[in-house]
Copies of this chain bind each other. A is one copy, B any other.
Protein backbone atom coordinates (compact mmCIF):
# COMPACT_ATOMS: atom_id res chain seq x y z
CA UNK A 1 0.00 0.00 0.00
CA UNK A 2 1.12 3.62 0.18
CA UNK A 3 1.31 6.13 2.98
CA UNK A 4 0.77 9.87 2.77
CA UNK A 5 2.24 12.18 5.40
CA UNK A 6 1.71 15.90 5.84
CA UNK A 7 3.78 17.80 8.37
CA UNK A 8 6.90 19.78 9.07
CA UNK A 9 10.37 19.36 7.64
CA UNK A 10 12.87 21.35 9.64
CA UNK A 11 16.49 22.07 10.37
CA UNK A 12 17.08 21.55 14.07
CA UNK A 13 19.57 22.55 16.69
CA UNK A 14 19.39 20.07 19.58
CA UNK A 15 21.31 20.42 22.83
CA UNK A 16 21.51 17.54 25.29
CA UNK A 17 23.79 16.76 28.23
CA UNK A 18 25.62 14.48 25.78
CA UNK A 19 26.28 16.96 23.03
CA UNK A 20 24.93 19.35 20.43
CA UNK A 21 23.70 18.78 16.87
CA UNK A 22 23.17 21.87 14.72
CA UNK A 23 21.50 22.31 11.34
CA UNK A 24 20.42 18.68 11.32
CA UNK A 25 17.38 17.21 9.64
CA UNK A 26 14.27 17.45 11.81
CA UNK A 27 10.52 17.97 11.66
CA UNK A 28 7.68 15.52 12.21
CA UNK A 29 7.29 14.60 8.53
CA UNK A 30 11.01 13.80 8.22
CA UNK A 31 11.04 11.44 11.20
CA UNK A 32 7.77 9.84 10.16
CA UNK A 33 8.69 9.41 6.50
CA UNK A 34 12.16 7.97 7.11
CA UNK A 35 10.62 5.45 9.52
CA UNK A 36 7.53 4.49 7.51
CA UNK A 37 9.66 4.18 4.38
CA UNK A 38 11.43 1.24 6.04
CA UNK A 39 8.09 -0.54 5.65
CA UNK A 40 6.43 0.89 2.53
CA UNK A 41 6.23 3.69 -0.04
CA UNK A 42 5.74 7.18 1.44
CA UNK A 43 4.31 10.31 -0.18
CA UNK A 44 5.47 13.48 1.53
CA UNK A 45 3.50 16.75 1.68
CA UNK A 46 5.58 19.50 3.26
CA UNK A 47 7.50 22.70 2.59
CA UNK A 48 11.14 23.74 2.82
CA UNK A 49 13.08 26.85 1.86
CA UNK A 50 15.71 27.19 -0.82
CA UNK A 51 18.37 26.80 1.90
CA UNK A 52 17.34 23.18 2.45
CA UNK A 53 20.38 20.99 1.80
CA UNK A 54 20.35 18.92 -1.40
CA UNK A 55 21.84 16.02 0.57
CA UNK A 56 18.62 15.73 2.60
CA UNK A 57 16.50 15.82 -0.56
CA UNK A 58 18.68 13.05 -1.99
CA UNK A 59 18.35 11.12 1.25
CA UNK A 60 14.54 11.20 1.14
CA UNK A 61 14.54 10.07 -2.50
CA UNK A 62 16.98 7.23 -1.88
CA UNK A 63 14.75 6.07 0.93
CA UNK A 64 11.57 5.36 -1.02
CA UNK A 65 10.01 8.75 -0.25
CA UNK A 66 8.15 10.55 -3.02
CA UNK A 67 8.84 14.31 -2.93
CA UNK A 68 6.37 15.54 -5.54
CA UNK A 69 4.34 17.07 -2.70
CA UNK A 70 7.34 18.79 -1.14
CA UNK A 71 7.22 22.49 -1.95
CA UNK A 72 10.54 24.32 -2.15
CA UNK A 73 9.77 28.00 -1.67
CA UNK A 74 11.92 31.12 -1.67
CA UNK A 75 13.03 31.77 1.89
CA UNK A 76 14.39 29.77 4.78
CA UNK A 77 13.40 26.35 6.09
CA UNK A 78 11.59 26.00 9.44
CA UNK A 79 14.20 26.03 12.23
CA UNK A 80 13.75 24.67 15.74
CA UNK A 81 16.17 24.83 18.65
CA UNK A 82 15.60 22.74 21.76
CA UNK A 83 17.51 21.80 24.88
CA UNK A 84 16.90 18.58 26.82
CA UNK A 85 17.16 18.44 30.58
CA UNK A 86 19.31 15.98 32.48
CA UNK A 87 16.45 13.42 32.60
CA UNK A 88 16.31 13.43 28.75
CA UNK A 89 12.52 13.45 28.91
CA UNK A 90 11.62 17.11 29.40
CA UNK A 91 12.92 19.85 27.12
CA UNK A 92 12.78 23.57 26.53
CA UNK A 93 12.19 25.09 23.12
CA UNK A 94 14.83 27.81 22.91
CA UNK A 95 13.93 29.16 19.50
CA UNK A 96 11.38 28.62 16.73
CA UNK A 97 11.68 30.26 13.32
CA UNK A 98 8.74 29.16 11.20
CA UNK A 99 10.07 30.84 8.04
CA UNK A 100 8.39 29.28 4.94
CA UNK A 101 6.40 26.95 7.22
CA UNK A 102 4.45 29.96 8.57
CA UNK A 103 2.32 30.15 5.42
CA UNK A 104 2.37 26.45 4.60
CA UNK A 105 -0.55 25.38 2.51
CA UNK A 106 -0.49 21.67 1.66
CA UNK A 107 -0.65 20.86 -2.02
CA UNK A 108 -1.52 17.25 -2.85
CA UNK A 109 -0.23 15.94 -6.19
CA UNK A 110 -2.67 13.95 -8.29
CA UNK A 111 -0.91 10.64 -7.81
CA UNK A 112 -0.93 10.98 -4.01
CA UNK A 113 -4.74 10.83 -3.97
CA UNK A 114 -4.63 7.04 -4.10
CA UNK A 115 -2.81 6.79 -0.75
CA UNK A 116 -4.22 4.05 1.48
CA UNK A 117 -2.99 5.34 4.82
CA UNK A 118 -2.67 8.97 5.87
CA UNK A 119 -0.67 10.45 8.72
CA UNK A 120 -1.57 13.98 9.70
CA UNK A 121 1.48 15.04 11.68
CA UNK A 122 1.23 17.94 14.10
CA UNK A 123 0.12 20.97 12.07
CA UNK A 124 -2.86 23.34 12.27
CA UNK A 125 -6.07 21.24 12.53
CA UNK A 126 -7.66 23.11 9.63
CA UNK A 127 -4.77 22.10 7.37
CA UNK A 128 -5.00 18.51 8.60
CA UNK A 129 -8.69 18.50 7.70
CA UNK A 130 -8.03 19.94 4.26
CA UNK A 131 -5.58 17.13 3.53
CA UNK A 132 -7.67 14.27 4.83
CA UNK A 133 -10.68 15.44 2.84
CA UNK A 134 -8.65 15.27 -0.36
CA UNK A 135 -7.78 11.59 0.14
CA UNK A 136 -11.23 10.03 0.31
CA UNK A 137 -10.07 6.52 -0.54
CA UNK A 138 -7.73 6.34 2.44
CA UNK A 139 -8.55 3.37 4.62
CA UNK A 140 -6.71 4.55 7.71
CA UNK A 141 -6.45 8.16 8.83
CA UNK A 142 -4.21 8.90 11.81
CA UNK A 143 -3.66 12.31 13.38
CA UNK A 144 -1.22 13.80 15.85
CA UNK A 145 -1.73 17.17 17.55
CA UNK A 146 -0.30 19.35 20.34
CA UNK A 147 -1.33 21.32 23.42
CA UNK A 148 -1.35 24.60 21.46
CA UNK A 149 -4.19 23.45 19.18
CA UNK A 150 -6.14 21.98 22.11
CA UNK A 151 -6.01 25.36 23.85
CA UNK A 152 -6.34 27.74 20.92
CA UNK A 153 -8.22 26.03 18.09
CA UNK A 154 -10.44 23.67 20.02
CA UNK A 155 -13.42 23.72 17.67
CA UNK A 156 -11.30 23.13 14.57
CA UNK A 157 -9.43 20.34 16.34
CA UNK A 158 -12.70 18.58 17.23
CA UNK A 159 -13.83 18.81 13.61
CA UNK A 160 -10.62 17.18 12.42
CA UNK A 161 -10.87 14.47 15.08
CA UNK A 162 -14.31 13.61 13.70
CA UNK A 163 -12.68 12.82 10.34
CA UNK A 164 -9.98 10.37 11.45
CA UNK A 165 -9.79 6.76 12.59
CA UNK A 166 -6.98 7.10 15.09
CA UNK A 167 -5.92 9.95 17.37
CA UNK A 168 -2.38 10.03 18.70
CA UNK A 169 -1.79 12.17 21.79
CA UNK A 170 0.55 12.33 24.77
CA UNK A 171 -1.13 11.57 28.06
CA UNK A 172 -0.89 15.24 29.04
CA UNK A 173 -2.69 16.19 25.83
CA UNK A 174 -5.46 13.63 26.43
CA UNK A 175 -6.07 14.98 29.94
CA UNK A 176 -5.94 18.58 28.72
CA UNK A 177 -8.40 17.79 25.95
CA UNK A 178 -10.91 16.06 28.23
CA UNK A 179 -10.31 18.03 31.42
CA UNK A 180 -10.34 14.94 33.65
CA UNK A 181 -7.38 13.27 35.40
CA UNK A 182 -8.45 9.67 34.69
CA UNK A 183 -6.81 8.65 31.43
CA UNK A 184 -9.41 5.98 30.78
CA UNK A 185 -12.29 8.44 31.14
CA UNK A 186 -10.45 11.13 29.17
CA UNK A 187 -9.93 8.77 26.25
CA UNK A 188 -13.69 8.19 26.06
CA UNK A 189 -14.20 11.88 25.37
CA UNK A 190 -12.16 11.40 22.18
CA UNK A 191 -13.90 8.18 21.20
CA UNK A 192 -17.24 9.95 21.49
CA UNK A 193 -16.16 12.18 18.58
CA UNK A 194 -15.77 9.17 16.32
CA UNK A 195 -12.22 7.75 16.18
CA UNK A 196 -12.12 4.00 16.64
CA UNK A 197 -8.73 4.07 18.34
CA UNK A 198 -6.87 6.41 20.64
CA UNK A 199 -3.14 5.93 21.17
CA UNK A 200 -1.69 7.54 24.28
CA UNK A 201 2.04 8.23 24.03
CA UNK A 202 3.82 8.02 27.37
CA UNK A 203 7.39 8.82 26.33
CA UNK A 204 9.78 6.72 28.45
CA UNK A 205 6.85 4.61 29.72
CA UNK A 206 5.67 3.32 26.35
CA UNK A 207 2.27 3.62 24.74
CA UNK A 208 -1.35 2.63 25.35
CA UNK A 209 -3.97 1.65 22.77
CA UNK A 210 -7.63 2.22 23.59
CA UNK A 211 -10.41 0.91 21.33
CA UNK A 212 -13.83 2.51 21.06
CA UNK A 213 -15.11 -0.98 21.98
CA UNK A 214 -13.36 -0.54 25.39
CA UNK A 215 -10.48 -2.80 24.37
CA UNK A 216 -7.09 -1.95 25.82
CA UNK A 217 -3.46 -2.78 25.14
CA UNK A 218 -0.31 -1.53 26.88
CA UNK A 219 3.23 -1.69 25.53
CA UNK A 220 6.06 -0.54 27.79
CA UNK A 221 9.05 1.29 26.37
CA UNK A 222 12.23 -0.47 25.33
CA UNK A 223 14.76 -0.10 28.17
CA UNK A 224 17.50 1.88 26.45
CA UNK A 225 20.80 2.18 28.27
CA UNK A 226 21.32 5.63 26.90
CA UNK A 227 18.94 8.14 25.36
CA UNK A 228 21.03 10.45 23.20
CA UNK A 229 18.26 12.51 21.59
CA UNK A 230 14.52 11.76 21.97
CA UNK A 231 13.51 14.33 19.32
CA UNK A 232 11.15 12.74 16.80
CA UNK A 233 10.40 9.65 18.89
CA UNK A 234 6.63 10.25 18.65
CA UNK A 235 6.79 10.62 14.87
CA UNK A 236 9.01 7.56 14.47
CA UNK A 237 6.45 5.76 16.65
CA UNK A 238 3.74 6.79 14.19
CA UNK A 239 5.95 5.69 11.29
CA UNK A 240 6.44 2.23 12.79
CA UNK A 241 2.77 1.87 13.68
CA UNK A 242 1.40 2.95 10.30
CA UNK A 243 4.26 1.39 8.34
CA UNK A 244 3.56 -2.00 9.87
CA UNK A 245 -0.16 -1.80 9.08
CA UNK A 246 0.52 -0.77 5.49
CA UNK A 247 2.23 -4.13 4.98
CA UNK A 248 -0.95 -5.99 5.91
CA UNK A 249 -4.10 -6.24 3.76
CA UNK A 250 -6.72 -3.92 5.26
CA UNK A 251 -8.99 -6.87 6.02
CA UNK A 252 -6.34 -8.06 8.49
CA UNK A 253 -6.38 -4.82 10.48
CA UNK A 254 -7.95 -6.47 13.47
CA UNK A 255 -7.33 -5.90 17.15
CA UNK A 256 -4.34 -8.28 17.18
CA UNK A 257 -2.76 -6.43 14.25
CA UNK A 258 -3.16 -3.09 16.02
CA UNK A 259 -1.37 -4.52 19.07
CA UNK A 260 1.54 -5.64 16.94
CA UNK A 261 1.56 -2.26 15.22
CA UNK A 262 1.81 -0.53 18.59
CA UNK A 263 4.87 -2.61 19.43
CA UNK A 264 6.47 -1.73 16.07
CA UNK A 265 5.75 1.90 16.92
CA UNK A 266 7.54 1.54 20.25
CA UNK A 267 10.46 -0.19 18.57
CA UNK A 268 10.95 2.56 16.00
CA UNK A 269 10.57 5.23 18.71
CA UNK A 270 13.31 3.52 20.69
CA UNK A 271 15.74 3.39 17.77
CA UNK A 272 15.38 7.10 17.07
CA UNK A 273 16.44 7.98 20.63
CA UNK A 274 19.78 6.22 20.23
CA UNK A 275 21.37 8.99 18.19
CA UNK A 276 20.90 12.61 17.17
CA UNK A 277 18.45 13.60 14.45
CA UNK A 278 17.49 10.76 12.10
CA UNK A 279 20.94 9.17 12.26
CA UNK A 280 19.93 5.89 13.87
CA UNK A 281 17.02 5.44 11.44
CA UNK A 282 19.48 5.48 8.57
CA UNK A 283 21.39 2.53 10.03
CA UNK A 284 18.59 0.30 11.27
CA UNK A 285 18.06 -2.99 9.40
CA UNK A 286 15.04 -5.32 9.14
CA UNK A 287 17.04 -7.73 11.31
CA UNK A 288 17.48 -5.05 14.02
CA UNK A 289 13.72 -4.48 14.01
CA UNK A 290 12.89 -8.20 14.15
CA UNK A 291 15.37 -8.73 16.99
CA UNK A 292 13.87 -5.92 19.05
CA UNK A 293 10.37 -7.28 18.40
CA UNK A 294 11.47 -10.64 19.83
CA UNK A 295 12.98 -8.86 22.82
CA UNK A 296 9.72 -6.99 23.41
CA UNK A 297 7.84 -10.26 23.56
CA UNK A 298 10.35 -11.75 25.95
CA UNK A 299 10.19 -8.87 28.42
CA UNK A 300 6.41 -8.43 28.42
CA UNK A 301 5.03 -11.97 28.28
CA UNK A 302 4.44 -14.18 31.30
CA UNK A 303 2.89 -17.55 32.06
CA UNK A 304 -0.81 -18.06 32.73
CA UNK A 305 -0.61 -20.24 35.82
CA UNK A 306 -2.11 -19.38 39.16
CA UNK A 307 -0.96 -21.61 42.03
A residues sitting closer than 8 Å to B (CB atoms) are 17, 86-88, 181-185, 202, 205-206, 208, 216-221, 223-227, 247-248, 256, 259-260, 262-263, 289-290, 293-294, 297, 299-307
Contacts and interface: CB of A to CB of B under 8 A. Distances in A.
Contacts of A202: 205
A262 B226 CA distance: 25
A220 B204 CA distance: 12
Contact of A300 (B205, B223, B301): B301
B297 A304 contact: yes
Contacts of A290: 306
A217 to B, nearest CB: 5
Contacts of A216: 223, 299
Given A87-B181, A182-B224, A220-B220, 6 more contacts: A88-B181, A185-B226, A217-B302, A219-B300, A219-B302, A256-B302
A109 to B, nearest CB: 29
Contacts of A220: 205-206, 208, 218-220
B183 A260 contact: no
Nearest to A224: B184
A225 B185 contact: yes
Contacts of A293: 306
A227 B260 contact: no
14 contacts: A87-B181, A182-B224, A182-B226, A184-B223, A184-B225, A205-B205, A216-B223, A217-B300, A247-B307, A259-B303, A260-B302, A289-B306, A294-B304, A300-B302
Contacts of A219: 220, 300, 302
Nearest to A307: B247
Contacts of A300: 217-219, 300-302
B227 A299 contact: no
A218 to B, nearest CB: 4
A260 B301 CA distance: 9
A225 to B, nearest CB: 5
